[in-house]
Amino acid sequence: MISEDRMITLDEKFRALETENAPGQEIRQEIGDLNAIMRGDKFDGIPLDFSHGDVDAFPPTPGSSEAWKYGFERGGQQAYTEYRGAAQIREGLAERLGAFTGKPVSADSELIITPGTQGALFLALGATVTVGTKVAVVEPDYFANRKLVKFFGGEIAPIPLHYQGSLSDNGPDLNRLEAAFKSGTKVFVFSTPNNPTGLVYSGSSIAAISELAAIHNVTVIVDQLYSRMLYSGEVYTHLRACDIQPKNLVTIMGPSKTESLSGFRLGAAFGTSSLIDRMERLQAIVSLRAAGYNQAALDTWFLEPSGWMDKRILEHEAIRDELLTIFRAAAFLTATPQAGSYLFPQLPPLSVEQNTFIQLLRHQAGVTVTPGTEFGPGLSDSIRLNFSQDRAVAVAAAERIVKMVEVYRK
């Protein structure tokens, strides 16, 4: 017998899935009378949505649209692929993912193509979490991780991430992680680079996680979505290439972000074949497969024109540095993103609630950001920005954020 309190009702389940403040959904918010609390006039400036990257400023990989068209013209065999994705696309992709992550991937048994990395995360957690499963979740981390665990009925063991200290101090709290692993945690899910802070887990953290998971037989799901956009001087460690490996490991990547292929909804999960099998079975009832023609765009992934990725990284690094300068000049504590395009500044105490400030920011200053509370409880003083934006527009918008903070400072 298990107690009723471990069961959640549908109402509770869907309260936990609240999307009102989720990035991109701001348009559905019912805004109260902001004019009544707004101080001063609206700001001039080009509106900017920092909730996701701007694929107009950083367009999709060259050739991706042509690859889609080629897929369309291939007809039936591309429309109806295996649920795990077209075999000939998986073959090339497995080779390139193996080379990138430092360990071979079997195209036949260790790789599944999914509708975005969100799709991959859903399948990975669906394949490993059920009612009562204890799951270690980093705070802060990608907001869907917590929601997914709750949806499947799992229990969250929170693992603090230190991200505002020196490089050597930063990283997950490994003592807390070990304690969680010792007390029945079955699954550990995390992102590196971390979303929302841009922290890249160090080689020693990754090795420790891999070894702890091996010892305590914990399944590891590592979201490496932004691992290609690595800034100068940074080093990235792939958990799947560590010497000591957990028995069950799934790595998740996708071309949505750095490569701006979000409009294609493509992701990839690779790792332990028994988990990939389960993920495919689940995909069969969730959405069958990533859209067939779209899968063809993966033929451009890791095969971008020479120099294209380097240029993209340099451009993002320049924007990162400008925004860091602006926020630090205003004394917002802001960690330096080592990879990816998220920035997570901590704001000083304000005279209005975080969500009110964020709505005012949108209404008065034309700037959309995502509240820190989406990434972990207690982060009501931080906001997340995706700085994959037009440089000049982003700089002006960051300056408006600073001005807004001045207006509403406590």
Residues 269-288 that bind a copy of itself (CB under 8 A): 278, 280-282, 284-288
The residues near 316 (Cβ < 8 Å, ≥ 6 apart) are: 58, 229, 231, 341, 387, 388
- CA nearest to 269, candidates 288, 249, 284, 286: 249
- CA nearest to 114, candidates 232, 278, 238: 278
> Nearest distance from residue 293's CB to a copy of itself, in Å?
4
Query: Residue from 45, 65, 95, 234 that binds a copy of itself (CB under 8 A)?
Result: 65
Stretch that binds a copy of itself, among 73-81, 174-182, 233-241, 323-331 (CB under 8 A): 73-81
Which of residues 65 and 336 has its CB atom nearest to a copy of itself in the complex?
Answer: 65
Query: Residue from 265, 316, 384, 400 that binds a copy of itself (CB under 8 A)?
Result: 265
Count of residues engaged in binding a copy of itself, rule: CB under 8 A: 74
Among positions 26-45, residues that touch a copy of itself (CB under 8 A) are 27-28
Using CB under 8 A as the binding rule, whether residue 346 contacts a copy of itself is answered as no
Query: Residue from 122, 201, 301, 342 that binds a copy of itself (CB under 8 A)?
Result: 122
> Nearest distance from residue 18's CB to a copy of itself, in Å?
7
Tokens in use for 198? 């841009």
> Nearest distance from residue 397's CB to a copy of itself, in Å?
15
Using CB under 8 A as the binding rule, whether residue 54 contacts a copy of itself is answered as yes
Tokens in use for 204? 């020693």
> Nearest distance from residue 233's CB to a copy of itself, in Å?
31
Backbone angles phi, psi at 302, to 5 degrees: 65, 15
**Is the C-alpha dihedral spanning 167, 171, 176, 182 positive or negative?**
negative
DSSP string, 153-221: T-EEEEEEEE-SS-TTT-EE-HHHHHHHHHTT--EEEEESS-TTT-PPPPHHHHHHHHHHHHHHT-EEE
Which of residues 55 and 309 has its CB atom nearest to a copy of itself in the complex?
Answer: 55
Among positions 178-217, residues that touch a copy of itself (CB under 8 A) are none
Among positions 155-184, residues that touch a copy of itself (CB under 8 A) are none
Kindly give the pairing relationship between strand 267-271 and strand 111-114.
antiparallel
Which of residues 23 and 340 has its CB atom nearest to a copy of itself in the complex?
Answer: 23
Query: Residue from 45, 92, 158, 263 that binds a copy of itself (CB under 8 A)?
Result: 263
Using CB under 8 A as the binding rule, whether residue 46 contacts a copy of itself is answered as no
Site string for a copy of itself, 75-114 (x = CB under 8 A): xx-xxxxxx---x--------------------------x
Query: Residue from 29, 31, 37, 69 that binds a copy of itself (CB under 8 A)?
Result: 69
> How far, CA to CA in Å, does 155 sit from each of 145, 152, 251, 318?
12, 9, 22, 41
Query: Residue from 33, 41, 44, 56 that binds a copy of itself (CB under 8 A)?
Result: 56
> Nearest distance from residue 132's CB to a copy of itself, in Å?
8
Among positions 129-148, residues that touch a copy of itself (CB under 8 A) are 130-132, 144, 147-148
Using CB under 8 A as the binding rule, whether residue 18 contacts a copy of itself is answered as yes
Residue 252 CA to residue 125 CA, distance in Å, equals 12
Contact predicate 132/155, CB 8 Å: yes
Instruction: Count other Cβ atoms within 10 Å, centred on residue 180.
Output: 23
Which of residues 2 and 36 has its CB atom nearest to a copy of itself in the complex?
Answer: 2
Tokens in use for 122? 């859903």
Which of residues 84 and 216 has its CB atom nearest to a copy of itself in the complex?
Answer: 84
Which of 51-83 are b and which e, b meaning 16 or more Cβ less than 10 Å from the residue's Cβ? Answer: bbbbbeebebbeebeebbeebeeeeeebeebeb
Query: Residue from 50, 163, 190, 293 that binds a copy of itself (CB under 8 A)?
Result: 293
Tokens in use for 151? 């949806």
Please name the residue that has the structure tokens 């080779």.
Answer: 95
Stretch that binds a copy of itself, among 25-33, 37-45, 341-349, 397-405 (CB under 8 A): 25-33
In the DSSP assignment, the letter for residue 41 is: P
Length of the chain: 410
Query: Residue from 29, 34, 47, 59 that binds a copy of itself (CB under 8 A)?
Result: 59
DSSP string, 286-346: HTSSS-HHHHGGGGGTT-PPTTHHHHHHHHHHHHHHHHHHHHHHTT-B----SBSSEE-PB
